[in-house]
Chain A
Amino acid sequence: MPWAAIGLHLVALVLYPGLVLILAVGILAEGAASVAVDTAGLRAAPFAPVRRLRDGAARAWPPLLGGALLAALAATQLAVPANPLSPLERNLLVAAVAIATAMWLGLGWAWSPPGARAALVVQACWLVALLSPAVVSETLRPQVLGAVTVPAQLPLKALSGLLYLFCLPAILQLVDEPVPATGVAAVRVLLWLPLCGLGVSLFLPPASDDAVGSLRFIASTIGVALIAIALGVALTKTDLRSIYLRLASVLAGGVLVVAAFTAAVTSAVA
């Protein structure tokens, strides 16, 4: 029985880049979001996410538990330096499905038809952004995709990164006018790291496999989270929100076309 391997994977799930890091980044980002979007006071900001998690646990612990485990599973797939999981074991699709499942757990918990429709559209666009580079590169390993520097694939990578970033505010429920329902909010606390970290893993070159690299990765992840928050604020404050989903869909369509073209060119050259 490979106890060592099991132990390492348990560490990855619980500590790094698992639940502990997820909560740390989540509480930080959620606090920032509550200041920027929900206009909560700076003092109350750090406690808002904790309260949301506690309420969530009290109201319906099974979905929150499921969400936490799925978020941890998604986090283990990130190209974070010093990840106990070997690069060969990581899979972008595992992370994507785990995140999507966690999000739908939250949405199912406090269901609102408009919110669900918007979430579906934006998740579809987000998936396009995630998988288009993978389809062209024929790999689902995050670190490999992050390291892609083939000139023919760079436009697609850039466009996908842009789409990914554009989708984040809606996926994180930062665009909605009212504060998201408890279920969604509680799960959102858990998804900051997996969502933003996945973007960093896929669209930025992999960091060195040491402490500095880890800090750089976490900083980049928080940076992406702050950009998402800023974008969310911008969308909330302006009229862009009314056409936001349409814009995302058009951009996703464009990414798909570019992906098809790039794939055709790549295979023709090969």
Chain B
Amino acid sequence: MALATLLLPAAVLAVSAALSWGADAVGLAVGRYIVAAAAWLSLAVLAAVWLAGGRGLVEFTPGITTAVAPLRLRMDAVVVLFQVAVLVPAALLLTFQSRSSREAAIAGLAAAAALLCLEGGSLLWTAIGLGVCMSLVLIDLHREEQRGSVPFWGVQTIAWLLLVWTAVLLEAAGGTSVFGAIPVTALRLPAFAVLAAAAVLCAGVLPVRTWVSEAWTRRRLEAGTLAIALLVPIGFYLLVRAYGMGAGQWPASQANLVVAAIGSTAAVGAAVRAQAATTRRGFLAEAVPLGSGVALLAVGLGTPLGLVAALMGVLSVSIVAGLAPLVPSDRGPVALLAIAVPAGAPPTVVFGSLLLSVQAALEAGVVQAFLGLAVVAAWLLGLAAAARAVRLRDASADTGLNGSRVGSLVTAVVAVAAGVGLTLVVALLAIPAAAEVMPPTPVQGQGAGGVSPSAILGAGSLGVSTASGGWSSALLAGPIVLLALVAVAAAPLLRWHAARTSVAEAPLAPAIVELEPPPAPLFTPPLAPVPARAAGWLKAFRLPAQYRSLFRPALMEAAVARSKPWLWVAVTVVLTIAVTR
């Protein structure tokens, strides 16, 4: 039973990948549909086995030692939340993006690997899973387009190796990297710093432009956006698990502050880049970094509310990751709605998570409150950027990729529905997950007392109500959506009336006026040219001619290998003198 609970969701995807591959082999172009259906089925299976299993901790340790570590799988509330965060955008993208059967097979395998990575019962197994997932994503990326895949590989390899090293450091300090058995004292500041570096690199949450935004510069978006959907949540998973390792807290409050600061600056950076985008795709490329930055701020706060906000942030980022690539290139109502969702317009789930994050920052302390203020500024800038993005030309229109109107409508509806049912998502997914890593047993410092639903949810769980403020998601957002639907239904009548009463006026201009050239940025990003300038300087950098030979391995190899081996003798003599002195 335990094995089935753990492996079924991934197995469904893996089998569909095999079927898709087989379909491709026999020339049937149905692979895409098989994998898409499998992704939704996997989501359903995950929910079913989780609820059927009593939503408790499930561990599987068959006693087999593979890849130098005993196989150990684990499923708890944290894993389920992050698997949902991976599966929702993956399912959306696999359903609404066009892929060949072979591409769909690789994508399905990558998604399965991501699920297994999250199910790793120890940090070492998480690292192994990340390595496999990263490799499959790389194959997908490289197969689609070579450009940009090597830098992605580089960054992800650094993240992966740092994660492996973290597991090693934990085993050295505490004798194990098994999540349930790591001694509280094992996660010291150096190990945490390495883990945090791995996490931010994996999730691409930095103040500067990362692989997440770069993935949008590719000609085709399929592989890049799937990579974002699969890998960004894994990065956050590591930071959330770190709370579990430290019994609800990170090794030092400075670490919390640094991570929170990185998050808020990342959000501001993404918003600044978004408002300066020259295409709509450029704006959408910053949607995930913006949300990720806010989520990173929240996860860095180190308070129960902060963690819940961060987990909600991860879920909203996953919806944005699934929505952004599907935004149609026109300027119709669906496109407007789809662009408004990532910007955090009320009453979507993105809005709810941003609201929770800022409230958590406000309650966490003075410095954190000011970081929250920066995030609100980023939010405002994001809204302005979204308003501008409506008028931007869509680069993807040149390549004939126009997103998916149905897909973006479905996703936007999901985002709004999740916004209305915010408290349900918080109560079912976020609070249990936060309680998993922030145990209620009182510990000193931040996180003391653990996560309490009554401190986050209002009366009847119809709204969020924390110490600093409330938000009646169900009672206010619900009626607003209702009114909007009524108005949309009555719109034709309104238009007819308006037309009848203004017959004397000149014929009306089209709803949205085409602006050519696209609107200028609200302001030029202050440090925008710096990376390009630095890269140019590095490219142009040349050693003085007389020293170049010292740094040319070929010349030294020629000296060592091709000449008579006096150099061998010389080196031996020098080493002998060195060790005998």
Do any CB atoms of chain A lie under 8 A from CB atoms of chain B in the complex?
A: yes
Q: Which residues of A contact B381 (CB under 8 A)?
A: 120
Chain A residues with CB under 8 Å of B515's CB are 111
B522 contact from A60, A76, A117, Cβ within 8 A: A117
B391 in contact with A117 (CB, 8 Å): no
| B463 close to A89 (CB less than 8 A) | yes
Please, what's the 1-or-0 string for B334-361, where 1 marks a CB less than 8 Å from any CB in chain A? 0010001001111100010011001100
* Residues 501-539 (chain B) with a chain A CB within 8 angstroms: 501-502, 508-509, 511-513, 515, 519-520, 522-523
Q: What are 22 A-B interface contacts by the 8 Å CB criterion? A: A5-B462, A6-B479, A58-B495, A60-B511, A61-B495, A62-B336, A65-B487, A66-B484, A69-B483, A72-B483, A73-B346, A89-B470, A90-B470, A94-B469, A101-B340, A110-B513, A113-B522, A119-B384, A138-B468, A139-B468, A263-B370, A264-B366
B361-405 CB mask vs A (1 if < 8 Å, else 0) is 011011001101100110111011011101100000000000000
Docked-complex contact B498 and A101, CB < 8 angstroms: no
State the CA gap A85–B380 with chains docked (Å): 25
Q: Is B491 in contact with A61, judged by CB distance below 8 angstroms?
A: yes
**Known contacts A2-B460, A104-B387, A109-B512; is-contact A134 B479 (Cβ 8 Å):** no
Judged by a CB distance under 8 angstroms, whether A91 is at the interface is: yes
Q: Is the CB of A140 within 8 A of B362?
A: yes
Bound-complex Cα distance A62 to B369 (A)? 35
Q: Are A93 and B469 touching (Cβ within 8 A)?
A: yes
A130-168 at interface with B (beta carbon < 8 Å): 131-132, 134-135, 138-141
Indicate if the CB atoms of B362 and A134 lie closer than 8 Å. yes
Closest residue on chain B to residue A109 by CB atoms: B512
Nearest CB on B from A87, distance (A):
9
Interface assignment of B28: CB less than 8 Å from any CB of chain A: no
User: Residue A253 at the B interface, CB < 8 A?
Assistant: no
CA distance A245 to B345 in the complex (A): 26
Contact present for B369 and A100 (CB under 8 Å): no
> Chain A residues with Cβ under 8 A from B343's Cβ?
101
Which size class do B's interface residues fall under?
Answer: 35 or more
A138 partner, pick from B345, B369, B383, B491, beta carbons under 8 A:
B369
What is the chain B residue whose CB lies nearest that of A264? B366
Interface string of A36-77 (1 = CB under 8 A from B): 000000000000000000110111111101100110110010
Contact B358 A93 (CB under 8 A): yes
A18 to chain B, nearest CB (A): 10
> Main secondary structure on chain B at its contact with chain A?
helix
B499, CB-defined interface residue at 8 Å: yes
Please, which residues of chain A bring their CB within 8 A of the CB of B336?
Answer: 62-63
Tell whether, in the assembled complex, residue B359 and residue A57 are in contact, meaning their CB atoms are under 8 Å apart.
Answer: no
Tell me the minimal C-beta distance from A149 to chain B in angstroms. Answer: 19
Q: Which residue of B lies closest to A8 (CB)?
A: B475
Q: Is B471 an interface residue (CB 8 A)?
A: yes
With a cutoff of 8 Å between Cβ atoms, the chain B residues found around residue A119 in the complex are: 384
Taking a contact as CB atoms under 8 Å apart, the answer to whether A97 and B379 are in contact is yes
Chain A residues within an 8 Å CB radius of B333: 62
Contact B469 A14 (CB under 8 A): no
Q: Is B478 an interface residue (CB 8 A)?
A: yes
- Given the known A-B contacts A58-B498, A59-B511, are A9 and B475 also in contact in the complex, defined by CB atoms under 8 Å? yes
Is A92 in the interface zone, CB < 8 Å from B? yes
Known contacts A54-B501, A97-B355, A128-B373, then 19 further A-B pairs from the complex at CB < 8 Å, ordered by chain A residue:
A6-B475, A55-B498, A55-B502, A57-B495, A58-B495, A58-B508, A61-B491, A65-B491, A73-B347, A88-B465, A89-B465, A101-B340, A105-B387, A111-B387, A113-B519, A127-B377, A132-B373, A135-B369, A264-B366
Q: Known contacts A59-B509, A62-B333, A105-B387; is A5 also within 8 Å of B498 by CB?
A: no
B366 touches A267 (CB 8 A): yes
A135 to B362, CA, bound (A): 6
Chain A residues, Cβ within 8 Å of B468: 134, 138-141
